[in-house]
Structure formats: structure tokens, C-alpha cells
Amino acid sequence: MKYYIIAGEASGDLHGSNLIREMKVKDPGSIFRGWGGDLMQAAGAELVKHYSELAFMGFVEVIANLRTIFRNLDTCKKDIAAFNPDAIILIDYPGFNLRIAEWARKQQYRTIYYISPQVWAWKENRVRLIRKTVDKMLVILPFEKEFYKKWNYPVEYVGHPLAEVVDNYIKANPQLQPHKDLVTLLPGSRKQEILKKLPLMLEVTRSFPEHRFVVAKAPGQPDSFYAPLLSAYPHVTAARDATYNLLMQSRAALVTSGTATLETALFSVPQVVCYKGNRISYLIARRLIRVKYISLVNLIMDRPIVKELIQDEMNVTNLHVELEKVLFDNEYRDKMAADYLELISKLQKGGRASEKAAHSILQFMQGAV
């Protein structure tokens, strides 16, 4: 069968690549084409457009790039029609993918959504659109099944794919052990968020001369983008394609809100969660978003496990205070480690997410209930 698969971010590229591999194991003749990244391409998908060309963060940035976004939508629709897949697989990235789902319904393509949009956080009325346009929804967070149940929309919980990804990496790399002086900086994957957060992360490193700091570069951003940001900090190094390697060896991390907060927790690394965006975008978001936390760690556990420094709170002074705690306060570190174990147990209850998702999709395509 032929599948058109769309992922608009680094995390979607990772999960899409693992899904493709599992589906090819179960159906070796399956063909994949779509939008994603290097990992999906390596897994066997024919890549049409890289996610690095797609990611716009915040309300203001989206409005400023509307022409590009609509052009991308038009290009994607035309490419899907030319490829004529048996089904379209959408991975998160809701602003784009829900528009594709709406169009796909009119064109009578079957649609599968893997990794639900965070409609429980804001725009809850999007569930109505999902019910009309998405044939099969696979969710990865434990509370999402109950959320959709109240909308009378059956979904399937397959577990979180990062739980298996990280567990596999830890088992395959037992030689990597934490160093007492290594701190990883994870400033995000989009240019806008990196430019907002990395300068502050870098500045706080000056207060900890006894520690080594390494910036984990985003796969979609070239070295030339980081060079001017790092030029004034010769004591800070940077690494590409080494995020998991770094987390395995880190004593602590400063982490941009998003998937990276969960990855850091799964590696049991004490962290400080950072968010800073365009001020207007942030003020709009604060009025619309209904959840209590911005990090997946706190959202899943429904309590403050890790410290979140949001917008104006993310400054050098607060970063220093919180980094000092995760580095030197052993009681604080031990409590976070215990909470991480509880989190990991919750996420692993779903089983191997990629395998379960692949099985579910193939059953759906074969007409099974």
C-alpha cells in the first residue's frame, strides 16, 4: 500500500521514522512519500519537503508567514493528489495537518492521525473537525483517551513512542555514564525559539566555571546559524546529532519546553524547563491556553515535577538559581529522580508505541475493527 506521511517538526520526524520501519516490517511492500526530515528519509520515505522549511513558532510569526504557509498547503495537496495514496498519515503539527485532513476528506482519502494535536490545551472545539475528518486517531498520552471519550470520539492509546526510543538507546549504550560536571543546553529546533533562549542559557554558563556546557544543535539548523551565537562563549562547545549521547552523560540540563523535556526526564536528567517567545504571541497564548503547565513532564504527572521558567521569568538570574538547585541540591535531585520513575512507569504501560501504531494502522487498512 502507498502512504503519504506528514511531520512538521523534529519530534514528528523521529516518530514518523520509527513508524515507517515498523510498518515496513509488517508490510514490506508498503511505500511512503511525504514531508518530514532526515530520519524519515533514512527509514525509507521519499522526502518532498524538509520540516526545517515549515516550522513557524507563535501567533505573530505564523501571521507574518501566512503566504508561505498557504503556498506549502497548496503544494502538499497537489503532491498528494499526484501520488494518490491509499491513506494519509498525519503526525501532530495541527495547524497544517488539520487543514490537510479537511481537504483529504473532501477528496475521499482515508486519514490516520498519529500523535494527537494538543486540543486539550487549547482550541478544544477542533475536536469537532477531527471527528469529521480523521478516520483513525492514535494517541500517546495517558489522559488523552479520557479527553476524547467525553466528545464521544473513540481513539486508541498506543503508549508514548519516546519511552521505547530512549529505553532502547540506554540499553544499547551502557558505556555512557553521567559526568558530574556536564550540563547540556537544549535551546529548541526552530530558529525563532533558539534566538530567544540560547543567549540567556549561554550567559548563565559564565557563573559555573567548574562545569562543562554543551549545546545540542538542532538537526534542521546549519552550523553557520550557531556560530555567531557561540562566538563570545569559547568555554561552551556544541555537538550535532548527539542529544541522546549528551543526556546519557549529563548531570543537569536547561531545556526548551516541548518534547525535549520528556526526553530529558526519560534519561533521568534533572532539568530546568525554559520558554521565551514573542511577547505578543505569548500574551495571546496565555489567554487561550487552558493547561496548568507547559512541559510534558508536568502535564502528564499533573503536578510540578520540574521547574518552568516562562517568558519574563526566564532570565539569567532565575536560570542561575534553578541551575544551582538541579546541580547541587541532592534532596531536590532525588525527589525529581523518584518522580521521573513514576512518569516512566506511566508511559511504558502502553507498550511499544511504534509497533502498536503500525499494527493498528494495518488492521484499519485491512478493514478490521
187 and 136 in a single domain? The answer is: no
73 and 218 in a single domain? The answer is: no
202 and 98 in a single domain? The answer is: no
143 and 182 in a single domain? The answer is: no
87 and 36 in a single domain? The answer is: yes
- Please write the tens of the pLDDT for every residue from 118-171: 887 667 778 999 999 999 999 999 889 989 999 999 999 998 999 988 999 999
- Please write the tens of the pLDDT for every residue from 52-94: 776 555 444 555 556 777 788 999 999 999 999 999 999 999 8
pLDDT at 282 over 60: no
189 and 334 in a single domain? The answer is: yes
140 and 39 in a single domain? The answer is: yes
331-335: long-range pairs with CB below 8 Å, 24+: 332/270, 333/270
Q: Is residue 37 helix, strand or coil?
A: coil
Over range 177-181, report the average pLDDT.
91
pTM of the model: 0.79
Residue 200's contacts (CB-CB under 8 Å, 6 or more residues apart) are: 274, 276, 314, 315, 316, 319
| Amino acid identity at 329 | D
Residue 34 parent element (H or E): strand 31-36
Angle between helices 94-106 and 126-133 (to 10 degrees): 40
**Residue 52's pLDDT is what?**
79
131 and 173 in a single domain? The answer is: no
358 and 338 in a single domain? The answer is: no
What domain range includes position 96? 2-159+350-365
Residue found under cell 514490506? 28
- Please write the tens of the pLDDT for every residue from 9-50: 888 999 999 999 999 999 999 999 999 999 999 999 999 999
Q: What CATH number is associated with residue 313?
A: 3.40.50.2000
CB-CB contact of 161 with 30 (8 Å): no
131 and 184 in a single domain? The answer is: no
112 and 130 in a single domain? The answer is: yes
130 and 254 in a single domain? The answer is: no
How many of the other CB atoms lie within 10 Å of CB of 289?
A: 13
- Number of structural domains (the chain) is 2
